[in-house]
Amino acid sequence: MSKHLLGNESFTQDFIEVTIEVLFTMTGLDVESSGFYEIEGHSQGLDVTSCMDITGILGFSGGRRGSVLLTFKEETALKAVGGMLGMEFKEIDYYVRDGVGELVNMIAGGAKAKLQPKGLDFELSIPNTISGPAHKLSAPDSAVRTRLDFTSPAGIFFAEIYLQEAVLLPL
């Protein structure tokens, strides 16, 4: 039986579209999707944040539990948040962390709006941002994560979605 009762592809495309729209509207960056794939359990070598400098993460609760993260190299984050404010940033500071958190917040909210009519609903938590070279985030062993790759004029970046499977109750 498929591990994905709803099929990850049914939400992957929505997250891709929302990410491109949010980044373009808020930062002015022309973002393109460059692929997506699933990462199962302990795929340490594929830990997406370990080669990045700043990650915004937001948890889902309620209907479906899980999280979405957005992770950038420093120079990409500086350009993205710089674009939001029409300012130039030289280092990751309070505003850059805040801006990355708000981007992930908008992506999660936009995806929620697209997924609600498909019967996939969840509540949004408050976004958090983690920064520093080679920071690592771990997901539960059982988690199937979907990683989305993007390219932009300010550099490549990634998103990763983890949605817990729906629990089917016996009839």
Query: Can you give the binding site for another protein, defined by CB under 8 A?
Result: 21-22, 25-26, 81, 84-86, 94-95, 98-99, 101-102, 105-106, 108-110, 112-113, 116-117, 121, 124, 126
User: In angstroms, what is the minimal distance from the CB of 114 to another protein?
Assistant: 9
**By C-beta, is 113 or 166 nearer to another protein?**
113
User: In angstroms, what is the minimal distance from the CB of 53 to another protein?
Assistant: 18
Cβ-proximal residues to 149 (8 Å cutoff; 6+ apart), any chain: 33, 34, 35, 36, 156, 158
**By C-beta, is 86 or 170 nearer to another protein?**
86
**By C-beta, is 74 or 102 nearer to another protein?**
102
User: In angstroms, what is the minimal distance from the CB of 7 to another protein?
Assistant: 21
Q: Give the C-alpha separation, 25 to 60, whole Å.
A: 24
User: In angstroms, what is the minimal distance from the CB of 159 to another protein?
Assistant: 15
User: In angstroms, what is the minimal distance from the CB of 23 to another protein?
Assistant: 9
Q: Give the C-alpha separation, 125 to 144, whole Å.
A: 20
**By C-beta, is 38 or 63 nearer to another protein?**
63
**By C-beta, is 19 or 47 nearer to another protein?**
19
